[in-house]
Amino acid sequence: MTVNLEVAEGVGTLRLDRPPMNALDVATQDRLKELAEEATRRVDVRAVVIYGGEKVFAAGADIKEMQAMDHTAMVLRARALQDAFTAVARIPKPVVAAVTGYALGGGCELALCADYRIAGENAKLGQPEILLGLIPGAGGTQRLPRLIGPSKAKDLIFTGRMVKADEALALGLVDRVVPAGEVYEQAHAWAARLAQGPALALRAAKEAVDTGLETDIDTGLTVERNWFAGLFATEDRERGMRSFVEEGPGKAKFL
């Protein structure tokens, strides 16, 4: 399989496994969607790590496969391509991308689908589609400007240039840079800590933030208000407040 889902201690690792560069061909895209939906459904998966291995995250689409596709073929495929990445972005649980080596084109777009990105010092990210006479097609023109702002996103998209880990951090494209050998360990630790948190409240927080970014503030505030009030009906809210009153902040243990 080109993508695998491995689950341990509440953390599901979506592991890309298509050597040597984890090129995201059609089969890999479809498998990614299938496993993202599985991670969404599974109650034993409370947080997710996206990982490509020690050497490379994902170097982009399978260019040889795309070269053989004409306009009609891509019209039929483009929606499925986006749907695969959207399935990752809509996992209603904390998702962290563990980025080593190249994360280019579709690889960068996959990292953009995460809530948080931890990159190795050897990471190189970019949207080089313009160098092929194309534009990003798996969400890059939408998720990248929402993350780092339109002018910085346009610079990367218009030029197709790669950025190293330190510049990616300065741009806000990644959130933390660590030694390459520690990327997965630190990403898993981030996910494992959140996997111990209140699952429904984390889901609510993610939905409120993401919805707010995609709509006007009044609609976002309505989503926030409804979730905030709704969480008062949960056992986790009772457990969290009781622990706060009896033991002090930060000591609640959630199921």
Q: Which residues are catalytic?
A: 109, 129
- Per DSSP bridges, beta strands 95-99 and 124-126 are unpaired
Interacting residues of 131 by C-beta distance below 8 A, sequence separation 6+: 160
Contact 5, 38 (CB under 8 A): yes
Sort residue 19 into left (φ over 0), alpha (ψ -120 to 50) or beta. beta
Give the CA distances from residue 198 to residues 12, 90, 94, 203, 255, in Å, rounded to whole numbers and listed in that order. Answer: 17, 18, 11, 9, 7
Length of the chain: 255
Give the whole-angstrom CA distance, residue 146 versus residue 169.
16
Contact 235, 252 (CB under 8 A): no
Structure tokens at 215: 């709509």
List, in sequence order, the alpha helices (H) in the chain: 26-41, 63-67, 71-89, 106-112, 140-148, 150-159, 165-171, 183-195, 199-214, 217-230, 235-247
Structure tokens at 13: 């690792």
Q: Which of 95, 117, 106, 93 is nearest to 198 (CA)?
A: 93
3-state secondary structure of 168: helix
